[in-house]
Structure formats: structure tokens, C-alpha cells
Amino acid sequence: MLDGIKLLLVEDDEDDYILTRDLLDDIRPANIQLDWVTSVAQALEILKTSDHDLCLVDYQLGKENGLQLLNSVRTTGIPTPIIMLTGQPDSNLEIEAQRAGAVDYLVKMELSSASLGRSIRYARARRAAEEERIQRLQAESENRSKSQFLTHLSHELRTPLTSILGYTELLLTQEREPTKLKNLRTIERNGHHLLNLLNDVLNLSRIEAGKLELDHNAVNLETCLADLQSQLQVRAREKNIELNFCATDELPETIYTDATRLQQILLNLLGNAIKFTQEGRVELCVTLSTDHSNVDKIHFRILDTGIGIDESAQKTIFEPFSQAGYSSARNRDAGFGLGLAISRELAHALGGSINCESKPGAGSAFTLTLETGDISKIPRKPLNLTSRTELPRTNPSPTLSGRILIADDLADIRQLIGSILEAAGAEVVFAKNGQQAVDKILSSETSAEKIDAVVMDLQMPELDGFSALRTLRGKGFERPVIALTASAMQGERDRCMQAGFTDYLGKPIHVRTLLNLLSKHIALTNDPKHPGRQLSDVTRKHTVLLVEDNEDARRATTTLITHLGWNVVSAGNAADALKLASLPESDLTGAAVIDADHIDVALIDLGLPDIDGYQLAKKMRSGRLRDSRIIAVSGTQAEPERIKDAGFDAHILKPIGLQILTDLLQAESNFKEDAL
């Protein structure tokens, strides 16, 4: 361990130098290099530029002493560890030397080659530990600045995306010419592509910075798999690929893990399998095992008959931004090479792993292995999804009419049900959560475009299906509401019926069952003579104050809000915004467009040039906008506590598209109408 070590001895007595050299020579078989100087100045000169591993310094150096060297070394930041040597034991000096930074204190008359060797080894180990600590601190600080950089970048990118996507969406609603529509859709698709990339990069950096929050719970396996199957059916069907889920063992009803992360990993692996398979099938097979330490494990093996991955690429595909060469699948659905990197990090965070086996041209198999937690007392049963999942090969004949609202937080499921119902002849309206469903249904009640029936998922953010139904029934909505649930729990149906749902539908979605259910309950009495009412009719009277310093983003958002029928006044900084919010109506620029006597909604960008959005919101809350809705807008996630403390009602993440604004303003107009 001491072989090759380089020592510097600071000693003014030649006899003591020879003694030390002899002792070092006796430390066998080490090959130790010893350099010798006689003064503090010479020692400092050498230590500043040399790479000595250790310095031995005598306390008595003529008129100088070893403590002076220790002090100078400390103030100049020289990292070489120093051992102090003295002629006589002196406990006060020992303490002083250690305070000055000596790593050891040795008395010459007690010195042996063994004790000297031990002391050198110890000093070296301490230095290695110190270097490791410094490197770790450096890495941590680099990681911190990396994630600050990414947060900043995210904000800077989301603002221009607001203009790009906002104008595109607007033009898409106005354009009729097929070629121009196609071009616009290309811009829109690529804008969303960029947004997805941004989200993926942030996701990965959050995981790498150890900021991932996990939520371990008992996860119902059949529910989780049924949800996945429903989400992926559409994509598989589009490509004419068979999608099968199976289990060789009876599976525990629940395992202990984080449901969201598990779904995210499986969705990515299954999504890739479908993406890189042109014909044949994709299969998810679930098995259980127990390892030699008696830990229960679950394996999700995703097999495809796709293009496969060659051996060299298999080694890199889990690295960020790596893609296995050119493939014909590199089309508009191609990702960024981040999905597998994120999935592997997530699997590690869950205490598991992912591995890949593949043969080019024959297909691939990715296996996610996780610990199940204690499943000894959990009942087991065979997995039974296939009987409920088949989609018809041809579009169902139109058997439905009327307007049906589909409420589900999963976009793919909304799309799946939507396409089935549209193909059957119904008109569909979507809601992403219970609150949105309630808002849309209640506002439609006052219009000619009434909702005839609702398909409502039970587990949704903001407001779950049961609470949404309760609100609807409480407000007198009596038309059919069908509960949609992936839960395979016994008694779920009874719970739904008791709660006031009209009927119950299990996931995965079975087309015939869905259509039969709806045609059984739906009232086919939509009056076609009633013309539809536009959102703008309901909302025309309200005004938005938009505070955004980026001129393009401000113009894009203004145009979208105006398109939705609202009035807008806008400001590029906090000072102008305050003027707009507090001047009497008649003094306002563009006062003609301002209805009634105040601003109903304020949208405030958090990063303004004069004072930040938080301070602006506080000022507005204490002024004339006391009762208005004040919404924070930013390019990065904001801390909920700060948002609340500043007096904001909500926070939205850029880009601000038509859908976000529609939801926001519609909720506002419902609120206003309710209050009337």
C-alpha cells in the first residue's frame, strides 16, 4: 500500500534525516521516495508545485518551527497532509499541532519503522477520504447547478412555445384549405414533440438529482394491467398488432409498490414494443419468483416480434438520448431516446431492474423485475383480462345518438372511448377530471347542447367520480351517468349503484358492452332543431387581465382569449398591470372593451421584469382585484405554498393553449353564473 509513495521531510539535522531514511528503508517491501529540505521556505516552495503524498516536519527547525509550516500550508490551501515530529513528548505541543492541522504527532525517540509506516498509511487513507468528500461535494454542487439550469431552460422554452402552439391552434380553428391544414398540423405536432422532450429531460434530471417522490401502496395488479391494456389497445389496433397480457402463475391481488411509476415504466416498454413492431404481436407476461434470500419478486416480461436490437446497441439503449441506429420506425412517433433511461432509473428507485434480450429481425424482450413486498397473506387468482378486451374488427354500425361526456384522466382512454362512441354515431365531449366534468355538464344545462349521458371514471384527480356524481345529482342532473372502473373488487358495482350511478362498466373497455349499456340508458331525444350555443355567448361579458413580458406570448394568448369571446387587457410589466387593475374604468386604455366594473380573471406570469409575479399578486389582492380569480403562469413548476401565500387561486404551466384557456374561462363563467 505504501509502494511508490512520495514523502517530503523538513528537518534541519542531517543525522535525524539519515535516521528517518533508514526507518523508511526498513518498511519493506515498499519503495518509498524521500525528498529532504531543511527550512520552512524551501518546504513551502516545493509543496506548492509538487505532488508529494505526505510531508513530515520536525518541530525544531533552527529559528523556525514546524507550526509555522502548518499555518502557512493551511492559509495557502496546500492539500498535502503533514505529520509533526518532535524530540520530546509534549502534550501541549501535540494539541497545538493538531489544531494547526497536523494529521499525526510522532516523538522521534519512540519512532520505529512499524509506527512510522502505520502513521503514513493512516495519513494517506485520510487524504483519500478527504479527496472523495471534496469530489462528492463538487458533484453535488454541479448537479444542483445542472438542475437549476434545466429549470431555467424549461421556463425559457415554454414561453416561446406558448406563441407557437397558441397561434397554430388558432389557425387550425380558422383554416379550411387541406394543404394549409396539413402544414399547420405538422407545426402543432412538432411543437408538442418539443414539449414532450422538455418534460422528459426535466423528469430525468429530477430523478438523477434524487428529487423523485415515491408513493408506495398496495397496488391492484389486475386494475393496473387492465388500465394499461385499455390505453394501448388503440395504438396496437392501428398497426394491426395483436396485444396480449398473460400470467403463468396465479397472481397476488395486490403488490406493494408505486402504482404511477410502475405504470409509467410498463407504458414505455409496451409503447416501444408496439412502436418498433410492424407486424405480429406484443405480449406482456407476468411471473413470480422467490430469490435465495426468500424475497418475493414479480417479473413483467414484454415480448415483441419487431425489428429487434443488435448486440452493440443493447449496451447503450439505456443511456439518455441513445437510439439503436436508423430504423423504419423513426417516423413521427419516434421519441428522443430518453424513455428507457427514465424507465431504468425509475425501476432502480423502486428497488428493481430492467434487462433486455433481443435478436435483430426476430424481436425483443424487456423484463422489469420488482420486489412485491410481503405477499404471503394476499389472496391469489389467475389473471383474467383477455375475455374482456377484444375490439371489433370493423367499426360498429351507428347505433347511438346524442351528446355523451367522457370523463377520464387518461388521455388514451378518453380517446379510445371517444372513437368508439363517435363511430357509433354519438357526439362526444371530454373532461379530464371530475371537476371539469361537473363544470361542463352544468354549463351545458343552460345551453341547447345538453349532455345526454356521461361515462365517468371513478379514480380521477381534483374530484373523483363519486364526488362528481354527488355534486351533479345534488344540482338536479338526472340523466344517465355510467361508472367506469378498472377495479376488479367484489361489491364495486353495488357501491356504484348505491351512490346513484345509472350503471357500471369495467375496464378494459369491451365495445359491445359499452354500446349496449349506453343505448339501453340514453334518451334518444336530442332535439336537432335547437341550434348550439357558442361558448362566447355565455362568456362575452367577462374580462381577463393578462400580465406577460414576452411580447409574442402576450399577443398569442390575447388572441386566443379574444377568440374564446372574452375581453382582454394586457400589460408587459407589473407597474402597468397595477395601473390597469386600479384605475377607474373610464381611464383605462381600451376601456370600451371592458365590461362591468372589474377584471374577472388575472393571468400573471411569475417572471416579470420589475417585480415578480408573487409580489404583484399580493399587491392586487390588497387592491381592487380582491375578489377576482388570480392565476399564476410560469414555465416551470412552482412551489404550491408560495403560490398560495401570494394569494393566487391556481397555477398553470406554459404553454397556454386553447384547451387550458377554454377550461379556465369556462370554469370562471360557470362560477359567475352560479353566483347570480
What 3-state class would DSSP assign to 483?
Answer: strand
Quote the CA–CA distance of 404 and 416 in Å, as a whole number: 14
Quote the CA–CA distance of 358 and 636 in Å, as a whole number: 39
82 contacts 55 by C-beta, under 8 angstroms: yes
Q: Dihedral of CA 28/34/38/43: which sign?
A: negative
Q: Report the 3 state secondary structure along 55-83.
A: EEEECEECCEEHHHHHHHHHHHCCCCCEE
Judged by CB, which is closer to ligand ADP: 285, or 378? Answer: 285
Reduced to 3 DSSP states, what percent helix, strand and coil does the chain have, rounded to the nearest 5?
45, 20, 35
| Closest CB 654 distance from ligand ADP, rounded Å | 23
Residue 325 makes CB contacts below 8 A (sequence gap 6+) with: 310, 313
Q: Phi first, then psi: what are they for 461, rounded to 5°?
A: -70, 170
| Closest CB 362 distance from ligand ADP, rounded Å | 11
Judged by CB, which is closer to ligand ADP: 111, or 365? Answer: 365
| Closest CB 289 distance from ligand ADP, rounded Å | 23
Residue 382 makes CB contacts below 8 A (sequence gap 6+) with: 247, 250, 251
Judged by CB, which is closer to ligand ADP: 228, or 341? Answer: 341
Judged by CB, which is closer to ligand ADP: 272, or 669? Answer: 272
| Closest CB 281 distance from ligand ADP, rounded Å | 12
Residue 488 makes CB contacts below 8 A (sequence gap 6+) with: 220, 222, 223, 226, 506
Judged by CB, which is closer to ligand ADP: 338, or 441? Answer: 338
Which H or E run includes 342? helix 339-349
Judged by CB, which is closer to ligand ADP: 87, or 325? Answer: 325
| Closest CB 229 distance from ligand ADP, rounded Å | 17
| Closest CB 191 distance from ligand ADP, rounded Å | 18
What 3-state class would DSSP assign to 95?
Answer: helix
Quote the CA–CA distance of 390 and 316 in Å, as a whole number: 36
| Closest CB 321 distance from ligand ADP, rounded Å | 8
Q: Which amino acid is at 461?
A: P
Judged by CB, which is closer to ligand ADP: 55, or 338? Answer: 338
- Catalog residues that contact ligand ADP under the rule CB under 6 A: 268, 272-273, 276, 304, 306-309, 317, 323-324, 327, 334-341, 364
| Closest CB 193 distance from ligand ADP, rounded Å | 11
Find the radius of gyration of the CA atoms of the chain: 35
Judged by CB, which is closer to ligand ADP: 318, or 504? Answer: 318
CA-based nearest residue to 239, from 190, 186, 191, 306 = 306
* Residue nearest ligand ADP, Cβ-based: 335
Q: Which amino acid is at 557?
A: T
| Closest CB 164 distance from ligand ADP, rounded Å | 22
Judged by CB, which is closer to ligand ADP: 125, or 362? Answer: 362
